Structure formats: C-alpha cells, structure tokens
A and B are shown apart, each in its own frame.
Chain A
Amino acid sequence: MRYEFRFPDIGEGIREGTLVKWLVNVGDLVKEGQSLAEVETDKVTTEIPSPKNGKIVELKYKEGDTIEVDEVFVVIETEGENKEAESKEDVEVEKQVVREESAGVVGEVIASSEVIPASNELIEPTTKTTKKKKVLATPVARQLAKDLGIDITTIEGTGPNGRVMKEDILRAKEQLSKPVVQPKFEVEPVQQVEKVEKAEKLAIEYQSENIKRIPLTRIRKTIADQMVKSRFTIPHTTAMDEIDVTKLVEFRNRYKDGLKEDGINITYLPFIIKAVIKALKEYPVFNSTFDEENEEIILKHFYHIGIATDTDRGLMVPVIRDADKKSIIELAKEIEDITTRAKENKIELSELKGSTFTITNYGSIGGYFGIPIINYPESAILGVGKIVKKPIVRDDEIVIAYVLPLSLSYDHRIIDGASGARFLNVLKELLTNPDMLLLKS
C-alpha cells in the first residue's frame, strides 16, 4: 500500500518549513517513529518522524526546499500487500513500544505507544495486615532505646495510648542490668552486694549483638521471688525413695476404663494425695509453717494440697481445699478441673492461695527424681516422678515391678532427717498396698 505522508502541522502557527537534510534515501526501510528529515521552521529545527513502517518510495523535495503544511512530503510503501499480512504487521507494531521524538515546536515531548495498566480506581484495595509491630514513641525516645541497645518494640509503654516514654526505656535498661531478683526479705548485706556485682558483671561480659535480653513478665518475676525466698530462707533437705506400686497400677487399671465412661480421668495423683494426707496426720510438722519472728511452729488442722502445674505463662500452684474430706474420685475430678483452668488462665486468684502442702508431679513430663523447692511458707513438698517398670528384689527374687520414685524436700530447721524418712515410709506402706490406703483413709 502506498502511504502519502503530508508535512505535519507541528504547532504554534507554523505553516511552512525548510527542508534542511534528508535522513533517509529512496529504497530505505523505515520504522514508525524513525526520523525522516530535519526541517527548520522559524522557531526551531526539528526532526520529522515516520508515521508508518515501510519502504521509502519517493522523496518529494530537495534539501533547501520550502514545504508547506499538508503537502505530500514522502511516499512510503507500507509492508504487506495483502490485507492479512498487513493486519498482522499492525498487531506487531501495536505491541512494540515505539519511542519517538515528537514534532513539537516548543521543546521535545517524549511520545511513546507504551500502554500502562488500566486504572484500578474502583477496585477496593485489599488491606494487607502489616507484619511489623508499631510502637508509639517520640524520636528522642527511639534514639535513647537505640543508644542503650534495646529493641523498642519489646518495651511496654506506660504513656498516653501506650506510648513508650523515656522512663520506660530507662526502666527496661535497669531491669536488664540489675540482678534478676530483688529479694524482699532481709539477706546478709555482704551476700547482696556480691550478687549485684555478679549480675552487673554479667551484663558487661556479653556483647549485645550476641544475646537477646527478655524482660521478666510479672508472673515470672513472682515465681523467681518466691523461689529465692524459699531457697534462701529454708534450709532444704531432700529424701528420696522408690516405691513398688505394682498393685496400685493393677488397681487403677481395673477401674480406669469404667471411670472414663463416666467422664472421670483417674490418675495416680488422687491416690498419692490420700497417702500424703495420712502421712501429714501422722507427722503434722509436715503440714506446718515455721513462724520465724515468733519462733513458733504453726501446725495446721486443715489440709489444702497445692498441685504444681506447668502452664504457658509459667509455674502455677492451684489448691485443692480440704483434700482430706474428699474421695479419690472427687479428687480426680477436682485435679483435672483446677489444673485445666490454670493452664487456660481461667483460674481465680483465691484458688492459687492457701495451700498447706504441695505436690509437684514432674513425672507427667518424664522426670524421675528431683529436688523440689518448698512452696514458701510451707514446710515440705513432695516431688512425684514417673512410674516405670524396673527389676526389683521382692522376697529374695528379682521381679519386674512398677516403681514410683518420690522426692520429699522439707524444712530442716523444724524437721529432722529421721522424720523425713518416716514420712516417706508411710507413703510407701500405703502406696504399695492400695487396699490399706482405702481402708485407712
């Protein structure tokens, strides 16, 4: 197809131009946008781009000629004589991004056939949740945290709307560099100074990029305080024993499935509680508190048994009140109830207070012996390990038996070693022979 290219209207009142120079020759193949000629108008010299792809057939003017707007200027044979080929070519041209210098009189406006994506104006943007935690803080507070090497996102703000204040950052820094625990009770001054020094040394020894510092949660702080108070106040001693509970295992196996149908999950713990109560009644000092101030031992005639429970937030001790007045099945139900609620954080504060003796069952996680720390201000704690099959000597014969390991920690200020052994003996007698346990309790 022959295409007659007329000298274009290039704007601002230009009616004619002088052909300065041809940039193509007859017979040349040209692309859309390719410059064909340099033309001088009374305002500017500009290059005239080809409007088509094709072959130059005729150049109508000579260099130096004046061309009027709308005069045929160049004749181009466009590619593809038959229509099919031509449309194909057109499609290709459409796809191609053609950059061209447009023929404007003022400056050069870039012209391109590039097509940008359609507007998404009416499409509601999908709101993405941001993965970063945002903290409210003034720049000076952010700088302070940076200088102290504290990640500001880990600090709980106490300012308006939870803003992290400079004081919060300084407090966090203080917590990190001070001893983990500030004992509330009196300790030997020398001891405290030593500890402070040690803790501060610790803070200096590590480079901040190699470690991560986690501020204590309130509950962890309470646990830490309690442990230190107990360990540094009460001289602990621990007695351990292994008890043949083969009969108890058999006994439980006999009733376990039946009880399960009634929705009762019977463990060994209710039996152990029953045995403990019998032992506490026989040796009341294990159910007492040492009143240091008045130099008295307070014996309690009530039996509230604490059950140490592992929760996501840390150790908690829900309490079974008046355990001595409850049946094994009642105990089983209550243990399940309070420990579940403790784990789900649905327990009342009052249910975590007032125990007189505590049992810690690390056996449920697989532990065997342990040295439990007394739940201050109680005087003893029983650690229960995992029941395992073991070879033991029974009537001068080696047999395989179910063995329950027990660890009893007690306050050595008010309980002598012999009493500890006697207490364990009571447990041993009752747990070895469940019939006796039931008869006696």
Chain B
Amino acid sequence: MANVLNIVQAINQALEIEMENDPTVVVYGEDVGLEGGVFRVTAGLQKKFGKDRVFDTPLAESAIVGTAVGMAINGLKPVVELQFMGFSYPAFNQIISHVARMRNRSRGRYNLPMVIRAPYGGGIRALEHHSESTEAIYAHIPGIKVVIPSTPYDAKGLLIAAIRDPDPVLFLEPKRIYRAFKQEVPEEAYELPIGKAKIVEEGEDVTIITWGAMVRDVQKASEMVKEKGIYPEIIDLRTISPMDRETFVESVKKTGRAIVVHEAPKSFGAGAEIIAVINEKAFLYLEAPPTRITGFDTTFPLPRGEKHYIPSPERIAKTIEDVVKF
C-alpha cells in the first residue's frame, strides 16, 4: 500500500530513516522518549533506537539547546524538540549567542549540524504560549536557517535535508495541520533543498507568498476568486531564511501584484521583509501596493478569539479582489 501519511507521520518517518542511516543522529526533548512527544511526532523512536539515542529531558529549554551545541561540536547530530515554539524563549540566549554564531566565532573550525524542531502556530484552541508564530525573530538572526513545511511530502524531505545540513536549522512544524490531511510520500529518504520556494499554483493575476498552515487557506481562497476570473499564483516559501527571493520576485514581475499571507502579527513580520525585497527588485512592475494579510498586533488570543485572528479564506479572498481591482 502506498505510503500515505499526515505531517506527524511524515516527520516521524524522516527521523526514523535518518536515525537508521546515521548513528550520530540523536533525538531528545521534553517527553519525546517514553511518550513519543506531546503530539506523538517521536512515537516509537525510543523503543527502536534505545534510551541512549532517544531520551527525555528536564523542562529546561536552555539546557536542551545548550547541550545540543556541545554534542554537535563533538560529532553528533542532535535533533532536539522544543515542545512548543512559545517555549523557545528560555533557549533564546543559547540560540542567538551560540547556535547561530559558532561557525563564525570559531572562524570556521566548528560547525553545528543540529536541528531544533518546534511545533508552531495557532488554531488548536490551546493555552497561552502554545500558539506562537515568531519565525521572524529567528529569521532575523544570521547563522540560523528557518524552515517551515506545509505538506507531509515537504515535511519529510525538508527535515531530512535539515538533519543532513552542516549548519543549524530551526524546523517549525505547523501544528494546526499536523493531522489535518494526508499525502502520498515516498517511503525512502529524499531531500528537498532548503532555501527554495515552491510555486504551488500557477496564475498570472496576483502573486501570493505564504507558508506553513496558511498555504491551505490560501488555496481555499484561490478557489473562491477563480470563480470570479482571478487566477492567483501561490508560492509556498518553505524556507523563511535564507529566503528564495528570486522565485517570488520573478513571479511578481509576471503578475504585477503581490500579497503576503502569514499568521504572525503584521508589524515587523516576515511579510515586511518580503515586501521590501519586492519594492527593491520589482518596483517598476507593480500595479498595486504589495499587501499583507496577517494576524493582528496582539498576543495570540485564547481559544474563543483565535478564529478571528488567523486570516480566514474569506478574508484572504476579499483582499485578493481588492488588490487585483486596485
């Protein structure tokens, strides 16, 4: 039977394959061992690879990331899990001061082949700190790659590429769509290039740049506006940093219009950077102001309010029409 998996299963398969292929790969974090992680992403790994390679840690994110730095310097490939992106801030000093800088600080003597995995984004009716989308904070730091998959196929290929990457990768998993759909995924190992966006849908009226869980909502919005004769080109950025500027700049030159959709707050988000690049590289092609459809500049709301916060397909469709009619 075909290997049809949801994102959780695809990531689990990627971890299993890489642990099998490479004895230096170790997996640890809060509850990842015995429990298989709070979302069951690491389920079955401790049983298969033992407690030396898959183990639970104390509730100490700084220690989780800090020990990974030491392991990576000494020849292991740690793939650590932070239970939620909102729990990454205790580890922030390790990430910004050591993870991102070790290669530069050691003048190239030490590189850190490590991956920090964290479920990110809202939409699961969770508590405070459990719905963060702060990818822009990490994308702003030179020396760390930020990758966000949107499908099971991409999740597996990108995670394998991240594990094999000689430098640190922050791998953010859109938990809202962890189990929302399945996709046929090759059983064997494969890599998708980090730093390469994907044109999910070709169109010529407007370019929509998005990533993570928003890709599906943008596709739904696209179906709505197609009925009105508007054909958006949808780009799944897949890697926030380093950003694949060429793909979206070329697309905007073709369509003359650009929209960025992200779940994170509007101000100082990744959308601002993308639009700045568009203004620099495709200014003379623009027929409407590059526009953002995002969350709001507030703390992510508690369950009752979250539906109003995350851009809905209806909100996206309305804005697409406004931009095309501008």
Contact = CB atoms under 8 A, between A and B. Distances in A.
Interface in A108-131: 108-119, 121, 125, 128, 130-131
Given A108-B125, A132-B204, A115 B153 contact: no
B153 A121 contact: yes
A109 B124 contact: yes
Interface string A41-82: 000000000000000000000000000000000000000000
Contacts of A132: 204, 256
Nearest to A152: B287
Interface stretch (B61-69, B70-78, B181-189, B314-322): B181-189
B35 A115 contact: no
Contact of B179 (A112, A142, A163): A112
A125 B235 CA distance: 13
Given A11-B35, A12-B35, A115-B4, A110 B180 contact: yes
B81 interface: no
A125 B254 CA distance: 15
A262 B44 CA distance: 91
Given A114-B181, A121-B153, A142 B202 contact: no
A121 B198 contact: yes
B4 A138 contact: no
B285 interface: yes
A425 B18 CA distance: 102
24 contacts: A11-B38, A12-B35, A13-B35, A104-B39, A105-B38, A106-B126, A106-B127, A106-B130, A107-B130, A107-B303, A108-B124, A109-B176, A109-B178, A109-B179, A112-B179, A112-B180, A115-B182, A118-B153, A118-B184, A119-B153, A132-B204, A132-B256, A134-B285, A139-B289
Contact of A11 (B40, B178, B254): B40
Contacts, number: 97
Nearest to A159: B284
B204 A125 contact: no
B178 A115 contact: no
B124 A118 contact: no
B106 to A, nearest CB: 36
Given A108-B125, A112-B180, 10 more contacts: A11-B38, A13-B31, A104-B39, A109-B175, A110-B176, A112-B179, A115-B182, A116-B182, A121-B198, A163-B284
Contacts of B303: 107
Given A105-B38, A109-B39, A125-B202, A12 B183 contact: no
Interface in B280-321: 283-287, 289, 303
A118 B151 CA distance: 9
Interface residues of B, number: 43
Interface of A: 9, 11-13, 102, 104-119, 121, 125, 128, 130-132, 134, 136-139, 142, 163
B136 interface: no
A368 B176 CA distance: 80
B27 to A, nearest CB: 17
B110 to A, nearest CB: 33
B199 interface: yes
A13 B37 CA distance: 10
A130 B254 contact: yes
Candidate in A106, A109, A163 with the most chain B CB atoms within 10 angstroms: A109
B201 to A, nearest CB: 10
Nearest to A131: B204
Contacts of A118: 153, 183-184
Nearest to B6: A111
Contacts of B135: none
Contact of B180 (A13, A111, A142): A111
Given A11-B39, A107-B130, A118-B153, A112 B181 contact: yes
Given A128-B202, A138-B284, A113 B254 contact: no
What are the 6 closest A-B residue pairs judged by CB atoms, nearest first? A107-B126, A107-B124, A119-B153, A111-B179, A136-B284, A118-B184
Interface in B1-52: 4, 6, 31, 35, 37-40
Contacts of A110: 124, 176-177, 179-180
Nearest to B126: A107
B182 A106 contact: no
A107 B198 CA distance: 30
Nearest to A129: B204
Contacts of A137: 284
Interface in B163-202: 175-184, 192, 198-199, 202
A384 to B, nearest CB: 51
B253 interface: yes
Contact of A134 (B31, B176, B256): B256
B184 A134 contact: no
Contacts of B4: 115
Nearest to B43: A9
A132 B154 CA distance: 33
A139 B84 CA distance: 43
A107 B176 CA distance: 10
Contact of A119 (B38, B84, B151): B151
A121 B180 contact: no
Contact of B151 (A11, A116, A134): A116
Contacts of A113: 182
Contact of A136 (B175, B199, B285): B285
Nearest to A132: B204
Contacts of B6: 111
Contact of A130 (B31, B157, B204, B284): B204
Contacts of B192: 121
Contacts of B253: 134
A136 B180 CA distance: 43
Nearest to B289: A139
